[in-house]
Amino acid sequence: MSDTDSVDFFTDRELLANPYDYLAALRDECPLRRENYHDVVMITGYDEGVAIYNDTERFSSCISVTGPFPGFPVPFEGDDISGLIAAHRDEIPFFDQLPTFDPPVHTAHRALLSRMITPKRLKENEEFIWRLADRQYDTALSDGRCEFIGEFANPFAMLVIADLLGVPEADHAEFREALLTEVGTIGSSEGETMQHSPLEYLYGKFSEYISDRRANPRDDVLTGVASAAFPDGSTPEVMDAVRVASNLFAAGQETTVRLLSTAVMMIAEDVDLQAKLRANSDLIPRLVEEALRYESPVRGDFRLAKVPVTVGGVNLPAGTTVMLVNAAINRDPRKFTNPEVFDIDRGNARQHVAFGRGPHSCPGAPLARAEAKISLQRLLERTSNIWVDEDKHGPHGNHRYSYLPTFILRGLTRLHICFE
Ligand code: HEM
């Protein structure tokens, strides 16, 4: 047994703080390496990862969120499991969510999403993001220190999506109450997979909104969301529209919060970096891309091989579960020179796969980038110095952080900062 064989990526708590050495060791053995515990082929190479992301013909997304858990409902047989997937898809968790759809259903629902969230809407939303950032900072920055995730990032990321979908401001407080749990995060960071209950709340609210706007159209954003049609012109069932809208919260909240907190941690940790950004705010988008590459908020996405397929010279039988390990793909030294170094001057950082690739690639990427840029810019403008709170994270040179206990997401649970 090699060292990598003795590590269970999915449950080993020691990997939470630093999964990168293990992932690099795995890649050194092979960029498509079967791990030892859950029968998952870990894709840690850049070219191999991008090839699979783009291959919706031979790889299904039906297990995109859950991977090997709880396992496919029936054993795999034969050289083409497409029929088995079609027959049992609705027994797999999150089967009703966009990330798990395959073409042609995926294609139609993805088009529905882009009709709900138009470029015009994104632009209006950006105006709201500037206002919201200032409003949140008025409170979070009032005291010389704050816990950035609970006091800023969580409510900020949630309310951005609420506004994007036109949730009336009168309902924002109720959304905060219902969706931000005790830790201040949507869904759970404690479980190994995302929980469904916040989605049930969202299904209830969006069923009301969409039914109401279809019956009584108004001149508002929700009416646009409610009346968006499939590309063939047909009107979606209320529940189809509800699922697509609700999925934005599940997909866009936790992820963006992790990006924001990583970026602020980097700024608070590195005096020179902070000075450089304060001197030239045009560098903020570079910081954001490098943060996405260096600490990819989604550690990885799963795919299921429908037929036998060869990737990077390795044969994968039909029924193989692969994990596209973004956290490793984005540190492949064949693509990114000195990948373990955080370097905002890196020329190709934006070629990371933190937002996935291909037909499922993140439709929220422009929004997440705008949220990060605006919140960092305003944070730097409204402070003259930011540093890590040593009462909470330990002494300088030995700061301790705790990371989400999940194999899906990568990021801090708390970030205590001081500022002046
Ligand atoms: C830093 C923030 C974010 C990261 C790192 C991220 C990452 C990802 C990744 C890796 C995927 C691909 C999943 C796959 O291929 O299986 C994805 C899909 C998705 N993301 Fe994001 N995301 C972020 C923010 C957002 C935001 C703000 C929204 C919405 C407002 C959003 C909505 C979605 C949706 C709906 C999908 C599913 C798309 C599909 O299956 O066609 N994401 N995201």
- Ligand 1: residues with CB < 6 A are 61, 64, 98-99, 110, 161, 247-248, 251-252, 255-256, 259, 297-298, 301, 354-356, 360-364, 367-368
Which helix (H) or strand (E) is 380 found in, with range?
helix 365-381
Q: How many CB atoms lie within 10 A of CB 173?
A: 9
CA distance 328 to 141: 35
Judged by phi (left if over 0) then psi (alpha if -120 to 50, else beta), residue 319 lies in left
Q: How far is 7 from 323, CA to CA, in rounded Å? A: 16
The pLDDT value given to residue 199 = 83
Which residue's CA is the nearest one to ligand 1's atom 20? Answer: 362
Say how far apart CA 1 and CA 143 lie, in whole Å.
53
Q: What pLDDT, on a 0 to 100 scale, did the predictor assign at position 91? A: 96
Predicted pLDDT of residue 168: 93
Spell out the long-range contacts of 344-351 with Cβ–Cβ below 8 A and sequence spacing 24 or more. 344/273, 344/276, 344/283, 344/286, 344/287, 344/290, 345/286, 346/290, 346/293, 349/286, 349/289, 349/290, 349/292, 349/293, 350/289
Say what the pLDDT of residue 173 is: 92
Map out the domains of the chain as residue ranges. Answer: 13-184+195-419
Pocket mutation for ligand 1, best pick of 246, 256, 362 (most atoms within 8 Å of C-beta): 362
Tell how far the Cα of 364 is from the centroid of ligand 1, in angstroms: 6
Which residues, given as ranges, of the chain have pLDDT below 70? 1-2, 181-196
Specify whether the CB–CB gap between 329 and 46 falls below 8 A: yes
Q: Does domain 13-184+195-419 have CATH number 1.10.3720.10?
A: no
CA angle 74, 79, 82 (to 5 degrees): 60
Instruction: Find all residues with CB under 8 Å of 25, minimum gap 6, and list them.
Output: 3, 4
